[in-house]
Each structure stands twice: as structure tokens, then as C-alpha cells.
Amino acid sequence: MSHKLCDINLKERHIIMSTTKIHITCDPELLKRLNKLSGKRSRSKFITEAIREKISREDLKSIVSECAGAWKIDNHKNLKTIKSVIEEINNLRKDSDTRIKELFNE
């Protein structure tokens, strides 16, 4: 059985995402705040966006954890001090400016 994730309507220029109803329980005070922020008619949209943001943060945390330790100072001896980091950044900017001038014949 296949499920269609979204229907793209190019004529009206919008995407209709398929949705699934869920039942959640919520602290009454939290619900009051939700209703105040989103309005009762926009709760689903608000909650969906909050879920997307939370999942995005969790994904980023996971990526950062996986990459932890990949960068080692011993491999970048030219970046041991703030002054050397600033120098390196300035050099990269100069290289970039030079490359842009070359590309655009300035």
C-alpha cells in the first residue's frame, strides 16, 4: 500500500500535505498558553511547527555528537591563538575577494 505524501497544485501554487489526526493529552495551563498564542483554530499548525523545530534541533544535536572530536588542534597548528584565527580568516577573505575579482574581471 503506498501513501501519497503531498499533492502539488502548480496552478494555485501551493502544496497540500497529507495529514493524520492524533489524540494528545496536555497540561491545562499549557493548553491555555497554546490557545492564547495560536488561537483555538490554529493549534494543529502551531503544534506541527513546534514538532518540526524540536525534531530539527534533535537532528542537529545528533549530527554534532557524531562529529565531536573530528576537528583536532594538532591538525591546525596555525589556529592555536585568537590572533592566528583572525589572521587566517582575513587571509581567507582576501583570497575570496581576489577570486571574485578574477571571476568578474574587476
Q: Which DSSP symbol is given to 81? A: S
Structural domain boundaries, residue 30: 25-70
Q: How many domains, the chain?
A: 2
In this structure, the answer to whether residues 56 and 84 fall within a common structural domain is no
Q: What confidence tens digit (pLDDT) does each residue in 27-42 have? A: 999 999 999 999 888 9
**Would you say residue 10 lies in a domain?**
no
In this structure, the answer to whether residues 77 and 64 fall within a common structural domain is no
Interstrand relation of 14-17 and 6-9 (parallel, antiparallel or unpaired): antiparallel
In this prediction, residue 2 has a pLDDT band, given cuts at 50, 70 and 90, of very low
Q: What confidence tens digit (pLDDT) does each residue in 50-90 have? A: 999 999 999 999 999 888 888 787 888 888 899 999 999 99
In this structure, the answer to whether residues 53 and 42 fall within a common structural domain is yes
In angstroms, what CA-CA distances link 78 with 19, 75, 90, 92? 52, 9, 13, 13
**Would you say residue 90 lies in a domain?**
yes
In this structure, the answer to whether residues 31 and 59 fall within a common structural domain is yes
What pTM did the predictor assign? 0.52
